[in-house]
Amino acid sequence: MKLKTIAQTVLVTASILALSACSTTKHNNGGYDSSAMNDMNTAAGARSSGLGQGQNYGDQEGSGGASARGLAKRTYYFDFNSYVVRDEDKPAILANADYLVAHHNARIILEGHTDPRGSREYNVALGEHRANAVMDMMKGRGVNPNQVRVVSYGAERPAVPGHSEQDFQMDRRVVIVKSH
């Protein structure tokens, strides 16, 4: 148990150091604008998509009275260089949080992802910020933090192949996955 705590502390410290090493300026919208990425800015919005209905998070009780609307929407997209949760995603995130509150044995992983622009360290930190933004909403709704694990893959797992702005939009996401 103590080794796990030390490993988590090292990971958090490394993420903070990596983020602070980036040449960034904080914007009021909660995003970051790296000097190396200024000319790659985009005004394109993002949308949410679902991963299927009727799936549960692996609890012993089954999906029972869980809202299919909330459970169907498990991927949340973000604007370029931002970790601000979009207003249209908040109801689905809160519905998933309500499910977790009602199903104490359910466990999930919030996977943070970015598009490939920016350094590896910057993208891992941004993916973590995105996943933590979703987790903070869930905790605010009463979810036990022990039910949620945050992982950032940065740009290592693109959603789709390609290098167009539409492809990049699909890469900037947080995905809720069942924890085993």
Give pLDDT tens digits for 72-96: 589 999 999 999 999 999 999 999 9
pLDDT for 57: 44
CATH assignment of 2-38+55-178? 3.30.1330.60
Average pLDDT of the residues in 36-60: 34
Residue 108: is its pLDDT beyond 60? yes
Average pLDDT of the residues in 148-170: 95
Token output for 85: 């949760």
Structural domain boundaries of the chain? Answer: 2-38+55-178
- For residues 127 and 11, the model is more confident at 127
Distance (Å, whole) CA 45 – CA 169: 8
What number of other Cβ atoms are within 10 A of residue 15's Cβ? 17
Angle formed at CA 114 by CA 124 and CA 175, multiple of 5 degrees: 95
Residue 152: Cβ-neighbour burial (10 angstroms; 0-12, 13-18, 19+): buried
Distance (Å, whole) CA 106 – CA 121: 31
Strand order in the sheet with 75-77: 75-77, 173-178, 108-113, 148-154
Longest dimension (CA), the chain: 50
What's this model's pTM, rounded to 2 decimal places?
0.64
Confidence at 25, pLDDT banded by 50, 70, 90: very low
